[in-house]
A = this chain, B = another copy of it.
Amino acid sequence: MLTEMGKRARAAAQGLAKASHERKNAVLESLAAELHGRAGAILEANRQDILDGEKSGLTPALIERLTLTPERLEAIAADLRTVLQLPDPVGEVFDERLMPNGLQVRKQRVPLGVLGVIYESRPNVTIDVAGLAIKSGNAAILRGGSETLRSNRQLVGAIHAALEANGLPADAIQFINDPDRARVLELLHMHDYVDMLIPRGGAQLHAFCRQNSRIPVITGGIGVCHLFVDASADLLAAEQVIENAKIQRPTVCNALDTVLVHRQVAAGFLPSLVARLEKKGVSFRASGTALPFLLPAGSSASELPASVTPAADGDFDTEWLSLVLGLKVVESLDEAIEHIAAHSTAHSDGILTADQANAERFVAEVDSAVVYVNASTRFTDGSQLGLGAEVAISTQRLHARGPMALRELTTYKWVVTGDYHVRP
């Protein structure tokens, strides 16, 4: 069954690769309008998905991720319009050079071909991926989670209507309607029809894809994210950034997991941070080096604030996806960098500092997809970083790192033009 989908996707991709910039933009415009026009049906399908999810005991984090609201639907449509206004990467010419022998050499961007995307919960992924795929001339086969099947059917209906209204094949974006997990393995073996595989889900899904896929896999979207409060940081501003990074949307991968605090400022910073965030419902896992700063002088561990628990093994390797925050006091920038090297998933890590030299060392030595100086980790997002949207946030090293959008869905060919040149 999937093989047939693959063949149809391959054929649709060839048409899409030749589609004009204007036609692809018209599809995105139509899709934004369809989302608006079908909002009632989409939100109703989503409401049923949420009810079913609650019945079947999905975690609050998952429920939150699958929830659509009129505002979120508007935001998704707005992202489509942003993508629409970005330049089309297909056809872009770069690295032109004239060789000493007169050969003219250039590179020219072309679509990747067919994308396979496996995701859970968040139905906005369906639209983000479809919009970016169409604009970059790629076809896509989507495999959403069974918990959002109703929402996704509605959204895919809107996508197909938008494609067909503009004379492009509905097969360009196909959706695997069958919730059977065997389909995932089948998809991973379709290297003749799928050029890039993007799993968006937990560590288990990534490991499964890495082990079984015969298609190149983009792994990512798992963030154990750090902010290091350096001795020179503006402490009040640092509190605000940490609050934003932790609570603005705790269920997503760029939310903060661990705060590292320089010992010199720990006494002045940690109690105030804890007092501020516990009011917002945050609880803490504190390292042995942080605990003393959270106790009244001379008191014992039993007198810790109710929101604070001593950190257990593995806590600093956990992506919380909830209102939990790790706290650790470090002796130096070096120790902060070492902790990040040992525990980060190389997604988003930052330093809060007024010291330019420390900022530069942090940027040079922390090798994460996105490295921050004095900003919230929540900015790791295609829309926030100017890409309009994203198909994934890559934490692997090949092809693309961090938010992936239009250009990251292309490859290139070399074009070499001569005058009947031969190699000596």
Asked, given contacts A103-B375, A373-B418, whether A112 binds B423 with beta carbons under 8 Å apart, the answer is: no
How many copies of this chain does one complex carry? 2
In chain B, what residue has the closest Cβ to A218?
B398
Asked, given contacts A99-B386, A216-B396, A248-B423, whether A418 binds B372 with beta carbons under 8 Å apart, the answer is: yes
Measured between beta carbons, the chain B residues less than 8 angstroms from A293 are none
Residue from B238, B243, B402, B422 within 8 A of A248 (CB atoms) = B422
Q: Which of A141-149, A155-163, A175-183, A408-416 lies at the binding interface?
A: A408-416
* Cα–Cα distance between A257 and B185 once the two chains are bound (Å): 36
Least Cβ–Cβ distance between A265 and chain B, in angstroms: 15
Residue from B237, B375, B416 within 8 A of A375 (CB atoms) = B416
* Cα–Cα distance between A113 and B99 once the two chains are bound (Å): 31
Measured between beta carbons, the chain B residues less than 8 angstroms from A402 are 413-414
- Chain A residues close to B by CB (< 8 Å): 97, 99, 103, 105, 108, 110, 112-113, 191, 195-196, 210-211, 214, 216-217, 234, 237-238, 240-241, 243-245, 248, 352, 359, 363, 367-376, 378-380, 384-386, 396-399, 401-403, 411-423
25 contacts between A and B (CB under 8 A): A105-B385, A113-B397, A191-B210, A195-B398, A237-B420, A243-B422, A245-B422, A248-B422, A368-B413, A370-B413, A370-B416, A371-B415, A371-B416, A372-B417, A372-B418, A373-B418, A374-B417, A375-B417, A375-B421, A375-B422, A376-B423, A378-B422, A379-B418, A384-B423, A385-B414
